[in-house]
Amino acid sequence: MSDTVYAEDAAVPAPETPADALPERADVVIVGGGLTGLSAAYHLALAGRNVAVIEANGIGEGASGRNGGQLHPGQRRDQIWLTKHLGETLADELWELGEEAVGLVHTLRAEFGADCDFRPGLIDAAHTPAAFDDIRSYADHLYERYGVTPEIMDRAELAAAIGTERYVGGAHDSTGGHLNPLALVTALAEAAEKAGAHLFPMTTAEGYTAGPGSVTVTVRRRGARAHEIAADAVLLAGNGYLSGLEPRIETRVLPLVNHIAATEPLDISPIPGGEAVADTRAVIRYFRVDAENRLIFGGGESYGPVAADVAAIVRPYIDEVYPQLKDVPIAAAWSGTLGITRTRCPYIRRLQPGVYAAAGFSGQGLGLATFAGKVIAEAIGGDTGRLDVFAHMPVPPFPGGTRFLGPLAVLAMTWFSIRDRLALPQIPRPGAADQSRD
C-alpha cells in the first residue's frame, strides 16, 4: 500500500493472475515491478512473449511510484560531458534517445488514455552565480548543437515564476513537465496485464543461474516455498532495491534514500505557470505544485534504513525556499531508494546471453527507465541497436565493491552537502541538467 499522496489519485489494482500461479516456465522473467520492469513486460507481451514480473513488494512501490514526478528531457549526464567522453556521434545518438524517452511517456499516456495529471514545463534554478553561468552556457550549447531554446530567466523573472527569491537565475524548458508517477505505473501495469504479462507482487527473486540457452530464476512468494522458473531470458530491473542477486549491478548502482513531503492543498500556488523546479545543488531540492494544488517538495538524502520522521527532514528545506509557507501543514511525507552510478550514467546492458540489466538512472528515471524497458524488450526480440548505444555509457564499479557502498554513500553525501554550503561549483560538470539529482 503506497504511503504517498499519489495513491489518493492512483492505485495499482490487484493482479489478475492468482498469486500462487507462479509458472514453471516463461519466455522472460523480469525481476522488479517498477517502470523499467513494467515497460519491458508491456513491450515484450505486445510482441507475443510470455512474461512473468517478479516484484518483492507491491507493484510500483519502489522508486517508480514514489518519485518527484519530474519528467526531464535528455540524459542524466549533460551533452557536453557525453561529447567529451563518448564523442559527438554517440553523444548525439544519446540525445536522440533521451528525447525519445520523454516522447515514449507521452505516447504511452495517450495510448492508455491516462492523463496522469501531466503539467508541462520545467525550470532549472541556479543557487549561485557560477551555477547560473553554467546554465547559460549549457543553453547556448543546446541551441547551437540541437536547436533547443531553453528560455533564460534573470533573478526577478525567476522569482516571479517560482515564488521565491532564493535563486540567482534559471532556465525554462517547455519540453518536459511533471505528473503523478504512480498513475503512470498504474496505467503501465494495467496495460502490461492486458497485453498478457503476468505480475507477481510480494514475490522475491532469490537467485538465478544462467546456462547456454536458458536461465533459471528462483523465486519465493511471501510465506511460501521457493519455486523455480525456467526462461529464455531474465531482466534484472531491481534498481536501488536489488540486493544480493547480481554483483555486476550492485557494485555499480549505489542505493541512496531520498525524501519528499507534500503539503496540504495551498490556497495560492507559488508557481503560477505550473512548472516543476529543480535546483542546481549537489543535494538537489526539487519541487512542484500538483493537480490538487499541493506543494510536492523533495529534499535531503540518506543512506540505510528509512528515517521515522521524514516530514521533519524535509520541512527545513521547504521553509528555506518558501518561508511564506511555514505554517502550511504537511499532509504526507515519504522516502524512496534510488540507484546512482559513479558517472550518473544508467547501467543498461546485456550482461551475458539471456541476462539483461537496466538500473542506475541516478534520479532521472521517469522517462529513461520507461524507455530502458522498451529498449531491453527490443534487444530480447533481436534488435540490439539502441541497447548497444546505451552500452557505450561508462559505468565503472564503485571502489571496494558492495562492502564499501554504505560508508562511501555517507562520505559522498557529506562531501556534496559541504560543497553546497560553501557554494562551491558543482562537480563534475557545467550545466544545470547535470547536477547530482539522484
Ligand X SMILES: Cc1cc2nc3c(=O)[nH]c(=O)nc-3n(C[C@H](O)[C@H](O)[C@H](O)COP(=O)(O)OP(=O)(O)OC[C@H]3O[C@@H](n4cnc5c(N)ncnc54)[C@H](O)[C@@H]3O)c2cc1C
Comparing CB distances to ligand X, the nearer of 98 and 240 is 240
E strands, 98-253, in order: 119-126, 151-153, 169-178, 198-200, 203-211, 214-221, 226-236
Q: Which residue is nearest to ligand X (CB)?
A: 365
Comparing CB distances to ligand X, the nearer of 32 and 74 is 32
- Give dist(CA 329, CA 300) in Å, integer: 19
Three-state secondary-structure class, residue 63:
helix
In the bound complex, what is the minimum distance in angstroms from residue 348's beta carbon to ligand X?
10
Tabulate helix, strand, coil % of the chain (nearest 5). 35, 25, 40
Longest CA–CA span in the chain (Å) reads: 63
- Give dist(CA 236, CA 205) in Å, integer: 10
In the bound complex, what is the minimum distance in angstroms from residue 425's beta carbon to ligand X?
24
In the bound complex, what is the minimum distance in angstroms from residue 359's beta carbon to ligand X?
6
Comparing CB distances to ligand X, the nearer of 136 and 398 is 398
Closest CA to 286 of 312, 257, 318: 318
Task: Please give the grid coordinates belonging to residue 365.
Answer: 528515471
In the bound complex, what is the minimum distance in angstroms from residue 203's beta carbon to ligand X?
7
In the bound complex, what is the minimum distance in angstroms from residue 372's beta carbon to ligand X?
7
In the bound complex, what is the minimum distance in angstroms from residue 352's beta carbon to ligand X?
18
Cβ-based neighbours of 293, under 8 Å, separated by 6 or more: 265, 266, 269
In the bound complex, what is the minimum distance in angstroms from residue 301's beta carbon to ligand X?
9
Neighbour tally for 24: CB within 10 Å: 8
- Give dist(CA 17, CA 379) in Å, integer: 26
Residue that has been written with the C-alpha cell 512473468 in this structure: 52
Comparing CB distances to ligand X, the nearer of 74 and 150 is 74
Task: Please give the grid coordinates belonging to residue 409.
Answer: 554513500
Comparing CB distances to ligand X, the nearer of 136 and 395 is 395
Q: Please say whether the dihedral angle defined by the alpha carbons of residues 294, 298, 303 and 308, taken in this order, is positive or negative.
A: negative
Comparing CB distances to ligand X, the nearer of 67 and 75 is 67
DSSP 359: E
- Give dist(CA 316, CA 296) in Å, integer: 14
In the bound complex, what is the minimum distance in angstroms from residue 361's beta carbon to ligand X?
3
Cβ-based neighbours of 267, under 8 Å, separated by 6 or more: none
In the bound complex, what is the minimum distance in angstroms from residue 400's beta carbon to ligand X?
22
| Cβ proximity of 283 and 436 under 8 Å | yes
Comparing CB distances to ligand X, the nearer of 38 and 136 is 38
In the bound complex, what is the minimum distance in angstroms from residue 25's beta carbon to ligand X?
18
Task: Please give the grid coordinates belonging to residue 418.
Answer: 559541504
Comparing CB distances to ligand X, the nearer of 136 and 179 is 179
Comparing CB distances to ligand X, the nearer of 136 and 373 is 373
DSSP 56: S
Radius of gyration of the chain (CA): 21
In the bound complex, what is the minimum distance in angstroms from residue 50's beta carbon to ligand X?
18
Task: Establish whether the linkage from the previous residue to 394 is cis, with ω within 30° of 0.
Answer: no
Alpha helix stretches (DSSP H) within 322-404? 366-380, 385-391
Comparing CB distances to ligand X, the nearer of 136 and 335 is 335
Residues of the shown chain interacting with ligand X in the complex, contacts defined by CB under 6 A: 31-37, 54-57, 61-64, 66-70, 72, 204-205, 237-242, 245, 258, 260, 286, 298, 336-338, 359, 361, 363-366, 369
298 forms bridges with which residues in the sheet?
260, 286
Comparing CB distances to ligand X, the nearer of 262 and 366 is 366
Task: Please give the grid coordinates belonging to residue 264.
Answer: 496540504
